[in-house]
Amino acid sequence: MERPAFEDIVLAHYEGLYRFALSLARSESDAADLVQQTFAIYATKGHQIREAAKIKSWLFTTLRREFLGQRRRAERFTDEPPDDDTPDLAPEKLDALDGAAVLEALGQLPLEYREPLALFYLEDFTYQEIAAHLGIPIGTVMSRLSRAKSRLRTLLGDE
């Protein structure tokens, strides 16, 4: 099977990569930068991928690594501790939520919960794909998804 053209790969994966980047970065401009950087890396190293079916996974893994690398670099140059605390809120209502409220609440989750939740619900990755992508056991994926959904319900219940 022939490798798809670069433009076809961008068209096929841009939207999903952007949604994933937005869930990680919590900023539209940072998300767009991450996606652009991911495609730039693909343009230089994509020829190393042997199977065209693995391009999507490679792109998501590369985007995640870029995000983590940028985060590490940013933390080295700040005096403030990372903001990974989730507010402890009591649930009230889960009706009438819009996508912006859900994305905002998703952005408040710690990264370890945000990543599997975004990959599962926004990108339709399976548990096995998430486990391989994040380098964690499937049981850990399932428990993180459960905890993430619980925290998300709590956050959305008080908005």
Percentage of the chain lying above the pLDDT 90 cut: 39
* pLDDT of 20 over the 50 cut: yes
pTM: 0.57
Which CATH number does 6-76 carry? 1.10.1740.10
* Domain residue ranges of the chain, discontinuous segments joined by +: 6-76, 99-157
Split at pLDDT 50, 70, 90, the class of 34 is very high
pLDDT score, position 159:
46
* Identical fold, 6-76 and 99-157: no
Mean pLDDT of the chain: 82
The tens digit of pLDDT for each residue in 79-130 reads 544 444 433 333 344 444 566 777 788 888 898 998 898 888 888 888 988 9
Once rounded to an integer, what is the mean pLDDT over residues 58-83?
76
Distances 151 to 7, 41, 113 between C-alpha atoms, Å: 38, 34, 9
Q: Are 157 and 88 in contact (CB under 8 A)?
A: no
pLDDT score, position 122:
80
CB burial of 72-103 (b: ≥16 within 10 Å; e: otherwise) equals eeeeeeeeeeeeeebeebeeeeeeeeeeeeee
Q: Which fold has domain 99-157?
A: Arc Repressor Mutant, subunit A (1.10.10)
Once rounded to an integer, what is the mean pLDDT over residues 13-40?
92
